Amino acid sequence: MPKFNIYQEEIHPSPLMHTWWEFRKSHIAVLGLWIFAFFVFLVIFGPLIAPFDPLLQNPNAFLVKPSWDVSGSIRHLFGTDSIGRDLLSRLIYGCRLTLGISLLLVVLAMLVGVALGAVAGLTQGVRSSVLNHLLDSILAIPTLLIAIVIVGILGVGLVNSMWAISLALIPQFVHNTREVVRTEMAKEYVLAAKLDGAKNTHLFFYSILPNMYEMLVVQGTMALSIAILDISALGFLGLGAQAPAPELGTMLSEGLRVAYKSPWSIALPGSAIFLMVLSVNVVGDGLRSALRNRLQR
Query: What is this structure's pTM?
Result: 0.88
100 Cβ neighbours under 8 A, 6+ residues apart: 43
* Residue range 243-290, pLDDT digits in tens: 888 899 999 988 888 888 888 889 999 999 999 999 999 999 998 888
pLDDT at residue 10 greater than cutoff 80: no
100 falls in which pLDDT band (50, 70, 90)?
very high
* Residue range 210-244, pLDDT digits in tens: 888 888 888 899 899 999 999 999 999 888 888 88
CA 132/CA 126 separation, integer angstroms = 10
* Residue range 146-162, pLDDT digits in tens: 888 888 888 888 888 99
Note the pLDDT of residue 272.
Answer: 94
89 Cβ neighbours under 8 A, 6+ residues apart: 50, 51, 52, 53, 54, 56, 246
Question: Crossing angle for the helix pair 158-185 and 143-154, nearest 10 degrees?
Answer: 130
Note the pLDDT of residue 18.
Answer: 78
CA 7/CA 248 separation, integer angstroms = 54
Domains and CATH numbers, the chain: 16-46+85-296 (1.10.3720.10)
* Residue range 51-88, pLDDT digits in tens: 999 988 888 888 888 888 888 778 888 888 888 899 99
Asked if residue 88 lies in contact with residue 76, where contact means CB atoms within 8 angstroms, the answer is yes
Asked if residue 139 lies in contact with residue 172, where contact means CB atoms within 8 angstroms, the answer is yes
Mean of all residue pLDDT scores within the chain: 85
89 falls in which pLDDT band (50, 70, 90)?
very high
108 falls in which pLDDT band (50, 70, 90)?
very high
Higher pLDDT, 2 or 144: 144
Note the pLDDT of residue 8.
Answer: 54
